[in-house]
Structure 1
């Protein structure tokens, strides 16, 4: 089975022209043609952290549903993150993961049903300091290890300019992929948005979405990967 996974830091829907336009973000989301999208910076920063990307707009103008990561209140996500799943895809469980660091950080986790190979997706927006990013990767590795073996994709804003991004802390079963430069969106030079794939997931192709209005809609460009999930018997 092949699925398209994407990650997009929407920068609270504030574009490079200093206009806040959720409609532009939704236009980019629709153009990605993804099955699952991990989003970062979907809420405003200050309490009560109201949604910057309105749920009603997503549900009315896309084929995505919003997974229930947000606590009660006006937010769309948790620590500014949420995950969109194309309607019809069965999600068995969602979890919020607290991550260590100098600043408050968290990760979001969703596990799909057996018809999708039991795929696990973890959305991240990692810290700015390398030492804490390594701690955050180690915490994610520990959390998913407790949940048992599943093909796992970790995707999001890794916030790292280096070639490896500290993902070695995930262990040898993960391979890191940087689809290409995604930041800053008008003239991208940094591959900050990345994907780590575990055993059981095969990378088919990957890319950075550069079509208009993506270069204007946020300070990051979205990235995507097409992955093939190995059948369970191949993992035995």
Structure 2
């Protein structure tokens, strides 16, 4: 990167379905290989932890660094969970957390979001989220995220996650007024995707460009495909 160029990072989002592939086999190594292939600097994962008990990680924490070049950020709910409500963040070594809020989201299903301020080449806030299955609940959840962000100081922000919204035209109006919803390819189901369930949303002081990601033949590591984008500060 030249001295006069804008700083940039690669960011990604992927619902890894607790490591369960389209062949109904749990294969953490296959997921880790998929993460590594993204060559991203920051990756938001959904369904990174199992739901029962202490919600242990679906990925072997001690192998993440060697397999992907990324390290889990310390946002877990306990020593065995990788994330919060299944939302986890991996980042390149040298990217550190300088602010953290765990957010329980409204609705009948247990859902949550994580708001993380990061020490990156320029200030950056990342929101990792997995919204509910019902549109009415998703609207309330987006209201809660927007309200939480308004309590924080202004900071360039990117929201990464599984929004569970099938439509490209409606359903995300609560967030569209203040943020840009990046036009991205459908991600679900991974073998023949036609639904845009996964989204990247960003504040107006950032520029994001969608990137293609490596596709594998045969069984997929998850029923979702990842999203990948290059982020630049304006």
RMSD of Structure 2 on Structure 1 (CA) = 1.7
Tell me the TM-score normalised to structure 2 length: 0.92
Tell me the TM-score normalised to structure 1 length: 0.91
Give the aligned partner of residue 189 of structure 1.
Answer: 194
Q: Which segments of 5 or more consecutive residues in structure 2 lack a partner in the other structure?
A: 1-6
Which residue of 41, 50, 53 corresponds with 1:47? Answer: 53
Query: How many residues end up aligned between the 2 structures?
Result: 228
Which residue of 213, 224, 232 corresponds with 1:228? Answer: 232
Give the aligned partner of residue 3 of structure 2.
Answer: none
Hey, what's the Cα distance between the residues in 2 that align with 1:78 and 1:100? 15
Q: 1:75 to 1:35 in 2, by over 3 A?
A: same
Q: Which segments of 5 or more consecutive residues in structure 1 lack a partner in the other structure?
A: 231-236
Q: Are residues 1:34 and 2:11 paired?
A: no
Q: Are residues 1:25 and 2:31 paired?
A: yes
Per the TM alignment, residue 214 of structure 1 is displaced from its structure 2 partner at its CA by 8.8
Per the TM alignment, residue 54 of structure 1 is displaced from its structure 2 partner at its CA by 1.4
Assess if the C-alpha contact under 8 Å between 1:16 and 1:216 holds in 2: yes
Q: 1:170 to 1:62 in 2, by over 3 A?
A: same
Which residue of 103, 107, 123 corresponds with 1:101? Answer: 107
Matches of residues 214-225 of structure 1 in structure 2 within 5 Å?
216-225=220-229
Q: 1:229 to 1:85 in 2, by over 3 A?
A: same
Per the TM alignment, residue 75 of structure 1 is displaced from its structure 2 partner at its CA by 1.7
Assess if the C-alpha contact under 8 Å between 2:73 and 2:96 holds in 1: no
Q: 1:227 to 1:137 in 2, by over 3 A?
A: same
Per the TM alignment, residue 166 of structure 1 is displaced from its structure 2 partner at its CA by 2.7
More helix per residue: 1
Per the TM alignment, residue 210 of structure 1 is displaced from its structure 2 partner at its CA by 4.6
Hey, what's the Cα distance between the residues in 2 that align with 1:59 and 1:164? 39
Per the TM alignment, residue 208 of structure 1 is displaced from its structure 2 partner at its CA by 4.9
SS in 2 for 1:153: strand
SS in 2 for 1:216: coil
